[in-house]
Amino acid sequence: MGRPRAFDQPAVLAAATDQFWRRGYEATSVRDLASAMSITGASLYNAFGDKRSLFRRCLAIYLDTHARRRIAELDASADPIDGLRTFFDDLVEASLRDRRGCLLVNSAIEVAPWDPELAELIESSLSEIEDGFYRALQRLPAGTPFQRSRDARATARLMLSAVVALRVLARAGGDGDRLRGIAKSAVALAGVQ
C-alpha cells in the first residue's frame, strides 16, 4: 500500500497555475513546477501525470476561478447593461492589478498553434465567454437601440475581441486610460453610452 499524499492539493495546484501563468507553458519546466509546488518531481508525476496533464488541470481551475465566475455574475445580473459594465470594469481593474494577463489568452497565443487538443479546449473556453455576452445581449429590453440595429452574435464576438485586447494590452503594460476606453467601447456595442 502506498503512502498517502502529504501535500495540500489546492495549494500545489495554485502554485503550478501561477508558474504557467507567469512564465508560459514552454518556459515552465517540470523542475520549476516541482520547486514552486514544494514537492518532488516524482510526486508531481504520481499525483498529476505529465506536465501537459497538469497544465490542463491548471487551465480548468483558472477558467472556473476567473472566466466562468465572471460570466456567471453577468448571467445573474438583473440588468444586462449594468452586468456588462461591471464585467468590463472588473476586468480592467483586475488587468491593471495583475500584469500576468489572462492564462487563457496567453495560452491561445502560445500553446494553441501547436497542440490541437489544447487549441480545442481554449477555443471552447473562449466560446463560453462569447456565449455569456450573447445571453446578456439577448436579455436587453425590447426597444433598446441595440435590438433594432445589431446582430447579437456578431456583437458578442466583438466583445470577446475586446476582452482579448484588454488582456494582451495589460500584459504589455498598457495604461489604464486605454484599457478603460476599450471597456467603455465594448459596452457601447450594446447600444448604450
- Compute the distance between CA of residue 157 and CA of residue 30 in angstroms, rounded to an integer: 36
First to last CA, the chain: 64
- Higher per-residue pLDDT: 3 or 159: 159
What the chain holds in terms of domains, given with CATH numbers, is 59-188 (1.10.357.10)
Burial class (CB in 10 A: 0-12, 13-18, 19+), 149: exposed
Give Cα separations from 98 to 2, 47, 103, 157 (angstroms). 40, 29, 11, 25
Amino acid 71: pLDDT: 97
Angle (nearest 5°) at CA 106 between 98 and 109:
155
Amino acid 83: pLDDT: 96
- Compute the distance between CA of residue 111 and CA of residue 43 in angstroms, rounded to an integer: 25
- Is the pTM higher than 0.85? The answer reads yes
Amino acid 193: pLDDT: 57
- Compute the distance between CA of residue 174 and CA of residue 96 in angstroms, rounded to an integer: 8
Average model confidence (pLDDT) across the chain: 91
Least Cα distance to 75 among 138, 135, 144 occurs for: 135
Give the tens place of pLDDT for each residue, 149-159.
578 999 999 99
Give the tens place of pLDDT for each residue, 105-156.
999 999 988 889 999 999 999 999 999 999 999 998 877 777 655 789 999 9
